[in-house]
Structure 1
Amino acid sequence: MSGGSDQINAIYINGDRRNQCFLTSGISFHEFANNIPSPLRNVLLLKHDFEWTDYNYHTLFEYVEEENIQRLISADVKQFREFCWIDFDDVNDLEEMEPIEIAELLYLAHKKEPMGKPFFALLKNKYVYLSPDDGWLNKVYFRRLQDFAGLLSKVIPYKLGAFGKKRFVLFQKNKIYPAITRAVMEHMLPWTEDGLLIDLENKQETKRGLEIPLYVVGSYTNADDVMENLEELRAQAQDRAWLIFDKKEQEWKWETE
């Protein structure tokens, strides 16, 4: 079973900070691309069904230049059979790729793991994005761990604006929440190592503000094992905390039980 992240009112993260890799469920490519610290420039497509592409005859890969990146971000990626890509700095660098590097890219897309390091000095890629089912199960390598922290600090508030919309109400304004502070992220990131569930479905509006329950539920590589057993995982959680938006102080806070 699978489902897009727009149907998932939760985010699950199985983090491996040592290898700079994060497996997530509940964050789509659209949400990823709109919340990473630095905008995507050029994208080398390893597996996809996107039509607005250019073709590189040296690597035999298709790619998307900056002028078409917004088309890619707006595409219905969920409908692609698979979606795997890496970003790169300069189109001319594709012509300089060695056969072993091209082979490493093919292996990366096929096995969803690198042969060696997932980052290519020539391409200067910041990300390796590997998804067999976008939004339901994504595996992403980050060259800089702070880029993942930056993504998560923005994507949680971003998703809050997408939930609970009543499309038939005219002129409804969504609440806008600021990015989560660095201090809070320093508490949250270690929890991803043991499987962090951010339970947006059971967020609570209180006099103080907005409270989102967090659970350490264990490390899983299959999103079905998490998203189809949320009630049981909440009950058996190893640790619990709250991500709180204090409306008086207009900032996010972290509280453990």
Structure 2
Amino acid sequence: MSGGSDQRKDIIYINGDRRNHCFLTSGITFREFASNIPSPLHNLLLLKHDFEWTDINYHTLLEFVEEENIPNLISADVEQFGEFCWVDFHDIHDLDELDPMEIAELLYLAHKKEPIGKPFFPLLKNKYVYLSHDDGWYNKIYYRRLPDFAAALSKIVPYKLGLFGKRKFMLFQKTKMYPAIAREVMEQLIPLTEDGLLIDLVHKEESKRGLEIPVYVVGSYENMDEIFENIVQLREEAVEQGVLLFDKKDQEWKWMTD
């Protein structure tokens, strides 16, 4: 299955490495990420991209996006960039203070999709390192604060459901919007990402209790093609599975296991 398949938009796969504050995902786009992280992005130092609304820093010879152009980047067709890698930073003047080794580490990050040492740069005060190929297909993100990933995912799942609704409902019919997933539910889900978590929005179902989304633990993978080429078998052989339930009566998300 190619990276361009529509199925990836309806399935979220997460391979988590909490010790290194890193989450490899498929099924979450830059737009979904940027729209649901706890605080808005400000300045981005672009390491690999194909975005036109940029400035150049002549000390590093790297392009960057200032806060005023972030909305243009969020609405861009990032998937068409191919590789899209960046780190956020606090102050534009700090770019002029980066030493040759730090610049080399940034270039290595984008090339190898992993840091030489730590992925966070004291001078830049970056919260994120975003490394993607065919955005939404292979996204590797380092989070300075681990809770930021849980906070983002708690909103991304409902956000995606709202977008799916717009595709399927008739014109002028209101899209159903869902609340964020509660922190206590996320605390049960996030540890499962260490063994490869699959949230299957393709097979979501309406039941008497509410909306049910199947969730599977399918193993840790780096190659996204390997997951989607064997998706049926992985579902059948899942080590552990449960249901993410939006309870109609209580109007909240719950985690249900067998």
- Fold-level similarity (TM above 0.5): yes
Classify 1:37/1:251 alpha carbon distance in 2 versus 1 (closer, same or farther; 3 Å). Answer: same
Letter in structure 1 aligned against 2:134: D
Say which SS state the counterpart of residue 211 (structure 1) adopts.
strand
Asked if the contact 1:4–1:134 (Cα under 8 Å) also holds between the matched residues in 2, the reply is no
- In the other structure, the counterpart of 1:237 is 238
CA displacement at 1:8 relative to structure 2 = 2.4
Classify 1:120/1:5 alpha carbon distance in 2 versus 1 (closer, same or farther; 3 Å). Answer: farther
Letter in structure 2 aligned against 1:93: D
Aligned partners of 1:210 and 1:161: how far apart in 2?
A: 13
Letter in structure 1 aligned against 2:159: Y
- In the other structure, the counterpart of 2:133 is 132
Identity of aligned residues (%): 70
Aligned partners of 2:123 and 2:6: how far apart in 1?
A: 33
Aligned partners of 2:173 and 2:7: how far apart in 1?
A: 19
Unpaired runs of at least 5, structure 2: none
**1:130-209 matched pairs, under 5 angstroms:** 130-166=131-167, 169-209=170-210
- Whether 1:252 aligns to 2:228 is no
CA displacement at 1:168 relative to structure 2 = 8.2
CA displacement at 1:229 relative to structure 2 = 1.8
Asked if the contact 2:8–2:137 (Cα under 8 Å) also holds between the matched residues in 1, the reply is no
CA displacement at 1:164 relative to structure 2 = 4.5
- In the other structure, the counterpart of 1:71 is 72
Aligned partners of 2:247 and 2:227: how far apart in 1?
A: 29
- Whether 1:85 aligns to 2:91 is no
Letter in structure 1 aligned against 2:191: P
Asked if the contact 2:27–2:136 (Cα under 8 Å) also holds between the matched residues in 1, the reply is yes
Asked if the contact 2:165–2:175 (Cα under 8 Å) also holds between the matched residues in 1, the reply is no
Letter in structure 2 aligned against 1:121: P
Letter in structure 2 aligned against 1:229: N
Letter in structure 1 aligned against 2:131: L
- In the other structure, the counterpart of 1:121 is 122
Aligned partners of 1:253 and 1:189: how far apart in 2?
A: 14
Classify 1:158/1:131 alpha carbon distance in 2 versus 1 (closer, same or farther; 3 Å). Answer: same
- In the other structure, the counterpart of 2:222 is 221
Asked if the contact 1:5–1:136 (Cα under 8 Å) also holds between the matched residues in 2, the reply is no
CA displacement at 1:7 relative to structure 2 = 5.1
Aligned partners of 1:205 and 1:251: how far apart in 2?
A: 15
CA RMSD between the two structures: 1.3
Letter in structure 2 aligned against 1:186: E
Superposed CA deviations along residues 201-250 of structure 1, whole A, max 9, x for unmatched, are 01110111101110000000011111222111000000011100011111
Letter in structure 2 aligned against 1:172: Q
Asked if the contact 1:216–1:240 (Cα under 8 Å) also holds between the matched residues in 2, the reply is yes
Classify 1:13/1:49 alpha carbon distance in 2 versus 1 (closer, same or farther; 3 Å). Answer: same
Classify 1:42/1:185 alpha carbon distance in 2 versus 1 (closer, same or farther; 3 Å). Answer: same
Letter in structure 2 aligned against 1:82: E
Say which SS state the counterpart of residue 11 (structure 1) adopts.
strand
CA displacement at 1:170 relative to structure 2 = 2.1
Classify 1:58/1:214 alpha carbon distance in 2 versus 1 (closer, same or farther; 3 Å). Answer: same
- In the other structure, the counterpart of 2:40 is 39
Letter in structure 1 aligned against 2:97: E
> What is the TM-score with the length of structure 1 in the denominator?
0.97
Aligned partners of 1:72 and 1:141: how far apart in 2?
A: 20
- In the other structure, the counterpart of 1:10 is 11
Letter in structure 1 aligned against 2:143: F
Superposed CA deviations along residues 119-168 of structure 1, whole A, max 9, x for unmatched, are 00000000000012210010000000000001100000000112253478
